[in-house]
Amino acid sequence: MHHFIKETDFTLQQAQEVFSLARKFKANRLNSPQPLNMQSWGLLFYKSSTRTRISFEVGVNELGGFPIVLNSQSTQIGRGETIADTAKVMSRYLHGLVIRTFGHEIMEGFAADATIPVINGLTDFNHPCQLYTDIFTVLERISPEEMDINTLKGKKVAFFGDCASNMANSWITTAAMFGMEITLAGPEKFAPKQVITDALKADGLPVEFKFTTDPAEAAGGADILYTDVWVSMGDEDEAAERKAQMLPYQVTSELMALAHKDALFMHCLPAHAGEEVSQEVLDSPQSIIFDEAENRLHAQKAIMAELVGLNA
């Protein structure tokens, strides 16, 4: 069974197919093929969600399928049913399953026992659907007709804030996968962890990412400046400490000025103006945050369609 648990679960050729397909879905949203016709897909949430839930629910519907939204507390998972048993039961009813959860081992547990494709809607380790969306959004700017992933090679990404977060891990993996340069800037305590280096090596990808505590060094010459919330779900107890330590890494107009003149500002949302990014940057012409938000729909439709084709 072919799942989409991490960015490298698609080959470069398959990733290219996803981006090309997403472009077609976006250009012809309500008159496109329906590869999920007569299928039912489960959307299982351990965490609250806005973009993931809406984009997948609408996406399954637009591909001809029927979405069933579930959460861990309203199912027998909340009363202790094992992941293995739950995955086997769901596989008897559903044709695919999207999960948004905490520990990455939960996602891997579902994938190990499911006989239907499982899509990672976010874990504490990574967020591959967001990264495929981000890359699709970048390709719209630099290769709008061909969506050619080769145009990504050599582009510099600067990531600011919590550099050990799921978004940072996904950007590190994605940059290595597509030949992009990436420099992450944040407090030493929040530097990338060994686990992401191990993951790169396991996938045969180069370990070339850079980390610095100097935000200006990361921003210099960057083509993409990216940040995420400083306090993710589950980190609320550390909120005051995180905000204090990460304040120097707020993406401001001054930081943007150090980047390439056509640099893009990106954020997976929700954003907290005055914390990880200034309101001025959020509102600037260089900000493409709402294109990213919209593109969750088109990119995830393409991911589902690709999986259906691979598992046919």
Residue 148 annotated as lining a ligand binding site? no
pLDDT score, position 53: 96
How confident is the model at residue 233, as a pLDDT? 76
In the block, which residue shows the tokens 């210099």? 220
In this prediction the pTM is 0.97
In the three-class reduction of DSSP (H, G, I as helix; E, B as strand; rest coil), residue 235 is classed as coil
Q: Which of 163, 267, 268, 300 is catalytic?
A: 268
What is the chain's alpha carbon radius of gyration, rounded to the nearest angstrom? 19
Q: Report the distance separating Cα 301 and Cα 292, nearest Å.
A: 14
8 is in an annotated binding site: no
Identify whether 127 is a catalytic site residue. yes
What's the confidence (pLDDT) of residue 253? Answer: 98
Active site residue 130: yes
CB 64 within 8 A of CB 86: no
Q: Which of 236, 264, 233 is nearest to 251 (CA)?
A: 264
Q: Which of 23, 53, 100, 104 is catalytic?
A: 100
127 is in an annotated binding site: yes
Residue 157 burial by Cβ neighbours in a 10 Å radius (0-12, 13-18, 19+): buried
244 contact partners, CB below 8 Å, separation of at least 6? none
Q: Is 253 annotated as a binding residue?
A: no
Question: What is the amino acid identity at position 199?
Answer: A
In angstroms, the CA 199 to CA 205 distance is: 9
In the chain the domains, ranked by start, together with CATH numbers, are: 3-127+293-310 (3.40.50.1370), 130-288 (3.40.50.1370)
**What string of pLDDT tens digits covers the 312 residues of the chain?**
999 999 999 999 999 999 999 999 999 998 989 999 999 999 999 998 999 999 999 999 999 999 999 998 888 988 899 999 999 999 999 999 999 999 999 999 999 999 999 999 999 999 999 999 999 999 999 999 999 999 999 999 999 999 999 999 999 999 999 999 999 999 999 999 999 999 999 999 999 999 999 999 999 999 999 999 998 877 788 899 999 999 999 999 999 999 999 999 999 999 999 999 999 999 999 999 999 999 999 999 999 999 999 999
d(C-alpha 176, C-alpha 206), whole Å: 6
Confirm if 154 and 189 have CB atoms less than 8 A apart.
Answer: no
The answer to whether residue 235 is catalytic is no
- What pLDDT is attached to residue 237? 86
Closest CA to 138 of 224, 232, 235, 78: 224
Q: Distance between CA 122 and CA 264 in Å, rounded?
A: 24
Q: Is the dihedral of CA 54, 95, 119, 82 positive or negative?
A: positive
Question: What are the start-end ranges of the E strands in 161-310?
Answer: 181-185, 210-212, 224-227, 264-267
Annotated ligand binding at 242? The verdict is no
Tokens of 305: 């369609």
Predicted pLDDT of residue 48: 86
From 23, 228, 245, 300, active-site residue:
228
**Catalytic-residue membership of 298:** no
Q: Is 180 helix (H, G, I), strand (E, B) or coil?
A: coil
